[in-house]
């Protein structure tokens, strides 16, 4: 079986050996990509061909992904930990899949859906049809899971707000004599450190709030 796959790849790419690539994405800087990198590890992807992006799925402007796609050539193999790495919803996933596989001639392995989503195995018409059908179903499931997650988040926030939970930054307590402190700081009777200490907040907050005072005027 392995010889058959290699022969098919050789036919597609001529004498050129396909390059192996991997792409991982997490939604925020706080999230850890280790789980996805562990999934990619057994495929011996060269470090230079491994692209990790910390970017929200809501924003498809992903510079590392775009650089990866520009670098890949026909016959190269892209390894994805999951199908939702390709886009935010059903339409984007399908569109990106077709662009990569049909326009650029790239093969894709979706690691948590092997061997169902492995285009190196499906080169005839029937195989391509089956892979596209499976892709459509799984992409729809991925979109439904995302929508359910967003709905649960919205419901959770609504319940929390109903219980009096306040979201966002904690409000700053402004002292009653803040304006007088501001005037003394403006007139250089106080240093910024002294003014901030008297007010009980940071120098950065001092600058932010005094900017608002300046807009109002004396």
Give the residue numbers marked as catalytic.
27
Q: Is 26 helix (H, G, I), strand (E, B) or coil?
A: strand
171 Cβ neighbours under 8 A, 6+ residues apart: none
Q: Environment class of residue 184 by beta-carbon count within 10 Å: exposed (0-12), middle (13-18) or buried (19+)?
A: middle
CA distances from 69 to 46, 76, 155, 191 (A): 16, 10, 37, 54
Listing DSSP states for 164-215 in one string gives TPPPSSPPP---TTHHHHHHHHHTTSS-HHHHHHHHTS-HHHHHHHHHHHHH
Q: At what angle do helices 178-186 and 192-199 cross, to 10 degrees?
A: 180
What pairs with residue 172 in β-bridges? none
What pairs with residue 21 in β-bridges? 78
Q: Is 78 helix (H, G, I), strand (E, B) or coil?
A: strand
């Amino acid at each position: 079986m392995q010889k058959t796959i290699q022969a098919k790849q050789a036919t597609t790419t001529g004498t050129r050996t396909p390059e192996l690539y991997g792409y991982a994405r997490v939604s925020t800087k706080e999230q850890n990509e280790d789980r996805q990198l562990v999934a990619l590890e057994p495929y011996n992807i060269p470090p230079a061909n491994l692209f990790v992006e910390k970017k929200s799925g809501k924003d498809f402007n992903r510079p590392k992904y775009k650089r990866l796609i520009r670098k890949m050539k026909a016959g190269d193999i892209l390894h994805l930990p999951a199908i939702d790495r390709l886009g935010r919803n059903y339409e984007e996933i399908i569109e990106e899949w077709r662009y990569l596989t049909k326009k650029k001639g790239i093969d894709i392995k979706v690691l948590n859906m092997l061997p169902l989503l492995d285009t190196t195995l499906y080169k005839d018409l029937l195989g391509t049809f089956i892979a596209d059908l499976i892709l459509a179903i799984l992409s729809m499931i991925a979109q439904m899971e995302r929508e359910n997650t967003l709905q649960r988040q919205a419901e959770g926030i609504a319940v929390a707000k109903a219980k009096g939970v306040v979201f966002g930054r904690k409000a700053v307590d402004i002292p009653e004599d803040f304006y007088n402190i501001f005037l003394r700081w403006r007139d250089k009777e106080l240093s910024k450190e002294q003014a901030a200490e008297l007010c009980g907040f940071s120098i950065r907050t001092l600058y932010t709030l005094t900017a608002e005072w300046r807009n109002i005027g004396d």
